[in-house]
Amino acid sequence: MLIDLKGRVALVTGGSTGLGRAMAERFAASGADVAILARNPEPLAAAEAAIKKAGGGNAMAVACDITDAAARDAALAQVMARFGRVDILVNNAGASQRGPIETVSRAGMVADMDLKIFAAAELIRDVVPGMKERRWGRVINVSAIIGKAPDAGSIPTSLSRAAGIAMTRALSREFAPWNILVNALCVGKIKSGQWERRYAKSGSGQSYEEFLAPIGETVPLGRIGEAEEFANVACFLASDAASYVTGAAINVDGGLCPVA
Ligand SMILES: NC(=O)c1ccc[n+]([C@@H]2O[C@H](COP(=O)([O-])OP(=O)(O)OC[C@H]3O[C@@H](n4cnc5c(N)ncnc54)[C@H](OP(=O)(O)O)[C@@H]3O)[C@@H](O)[C@H]2O)c1
């Protein structure tokens, strides 16, 4: 199926590396104008160049910590000044935060919710009036399978991911009358900056692929996923082709999650 996003504007948080960058490139390749937000300028600039190359043009990157409301407002104002609207919002920025409960602080739990839930909800709040006016919108909340199948040592991520799925479901019903579709994508194990950092920390002396191989063996499909495979699903959800899909939390996990 050829996905056509021409004339659409997509905003991807955490679009500088990993899954966010892959989605931004895929959207651009499908014809969308794409804006990305993240904190570190260097990967942002590299991603902006790659997105421009993938789509032949309209891409912008804004350095911004999305948990800083004033910085986020200013970033969104820049996106609106350049593109005039947001049709597709992808709440993707995130980081793995988990450990035994004895290691979890209140501040850590609040920070995790702040990034993955409150900043995402506030961005939705800020772009949805325009979507309502145009009676077309797509919100994709990147979540994780841990939100459906909580595991040991997974606080606070289990909490924020379950909350993200609940937010998706609630807003899908709230926005349905305006043809604004809200879905979550539940990630299993997919190559990204997170895995590159874990590999670097491991100091294992193995190649990256050797390091990932035993992790991939825990997945029914027998391998860790590629960011492009994730981006393909997001691109479908962002398009007209997904016109009857809302309120779903779709696993993109090679069959790993025990819960559908
Ligand atoms: N890959 C997996 O196997 C996996 C599994 C479960 C869930 N996920 C989720 O998938 C999403 C994408 O992560 P990834 O795996 O692609 O990892 P990644 O490569 O580390 O990407 C994370 C992105 O989020 C940005 N970010 C982090 N904190 C931010 C903040 N406060 N404000 C703005 N941007 C911020 C990062 O840029 P800066 O650091 O420069 O800000 C980066 O662009 C995350 O929500 C992650 O939790 C991934």
Same domain for 94 and 201: no
* Residue of the CA atom closest to atom 23 of ligand 1: 14
Domain assignment present for 49? yes
Same domain for 20 and 128: yes
Q: For the chain, percent helix, then strand, then coil, each to nearest 5?
A: 50, 20, 30
Q: How far is the CA of 113 from the centre of ligand 1 (A)?
A: 14
* Residue of the CA atom closest to atom 25 of ligand 1: 14
Rounded mean pLDDT of 170-178? 98
- At residue 56, does pLDDT exceed 90? no
Domain span at residue 32 reads 9-190+227-251
Confidence of residue 204 (pLDDT cuts 50, 70, 90): confident
Buried b / exposed e across 235-259, counting CB within 10 Å, b at 16+? bbbbbeebeeebbbbbbbbbebbee
Place of tokens 């992790």: 215
Rounded mean pLDDT of 14-28? 98
Same domain for 183 and 123: yes
Atom of ligand 1 nearest to the CA of 225: 3
Same domain for 210 and 175: no
Q: What is the pLDDT of residue 1?
A: 75
Place of tokens 């920070």: 111
Confidence of residue 175 (pLDDT cuts 50, 70, 90): very high
Distance separating alpha carbons of residues 249 and 6, to the nearest angstrom: 26
CA dihedral 226, 230, 236, 239 (to 10 degrees): -110
Same domain for 76 and 163: yes
Distance separating alpha carbons of residues 227 and 113, to the nearest angstrom: 24
Confidence of residue 96 (pLDDT cuts 50, 70, 90): confident
* Residue of the CA atom closest to atom 36 of ligand 1: 14
Q: What is the pLDDT of residue 183?
A: 99
Same domain for 76 and 205: no
Same domain for 98 and 16: yes
Instruction: Please name which of 242, 131, 125 lies closest in space to residue 183, comparing C-alpha atoms.
Output: 242
Same domain for 200 and 101: no
Domain assignment present for 260? no
Same domain for 201 and 74: no
| Percent of the chain's residues with pLDDT above 90 | 97
Q: How far is the CA of 143 from the centre of ligand 1 (A)?
A: 11
Q: Are strands 9-13 and 88-91 parallel, antiparallel or unpaired?
A: parallel
Atom of ligand 1 nearest to the CA of 94: 45
Q: How far is the CA of 31 from the centre of ligand 1 (A)?
A: 24
* E-state strands within the chain: 9-13, 33-38, 59-63, 88-91, 98-99, 137-144, 155-156, 180-187, 249-252
Same domain for 233 and 216: no
Both tokens assigned to 252: 């993109």
Q: Which residues line ligand 1 (CB under 6 A)?
A: 13-14, 16-20, 37-40, 43, 65-67, 92-96, 115, 142, 144, 187, 189-190, 192-194
pLDDT digits (tens, 9 = 90+) for 98-138: 899 999 999 999 999 999 999 999 999 999 999 999 999 99
DSSP 35-78: EEEES-HHHHHHHHHHHHHHHTS-EEEEE--TTSHHHHHHHHHH
DSSP 215-229: HHTTSTTSSPBPHHH
Domain assignment present for 4? no
Domain assignment present for 3? no
- At residue 2, does pLDDT exceed 90? no
- At residue 86, does pLDDT exceed 80? yes
Task: For residue 17, give the CATH number of its domain.
Answer: 3.40.50.720
Domain assignment present for 259? no
Domain assignment present for 258? no
Rounded mean pLDDT of 91-96? 95
Distance separating alpha carbons of residues 258 and 186, to the nearest angstrom: 12
CA 152 from chain centre, in angstroms, equals 24
Query: Considering the chain, what is the average pLDDT of its residues?
Result: 97
Q: How far is the CA of 142 from the centre of ligand 1 (A)?
A: 10
Confidence of residue 141 (pLDDT cuts 50, 70, 90): very high
Q: How far is the CA of 90 from the centre of ligand 1 (A)?
A: 12
Distance separating alpha carbons of residues 13 and 35, to the nearest angstrom: 8
Q: Which of 39, 122, 250 should be mutated for ligand 1, with most atoms under 8 A from CB?
A: 39
Provide φ and ψ at 33, rounded to 5°. Answer: -80, 140
The count of structural domains within the chain is 2
Both tokens assigned to 234: 């997001």
Domain assignment present for 127? yes
pLDDT digits (tens, 9 = 90+) for 212-250: 999 999 999 999 999 999 999 999 999 999 999 999 999
Same domain for 137 and 46: yes
Q: What is the pLDDT of residue 216?
A: 98
Domain assignment present for 77? yes
CA 222-196-168 angle, to 5 degrees, is 75
- At residue 186, does pLDDT exceed 80? yes
Atom of ligand 1 nearest to the CA of 189: 3
Same domain for 178 and 158: yes
Instruction: Please name which of 73, 40, 251 lies closest in space to residue 165, comparing C-alpha atoms.
Output: 251
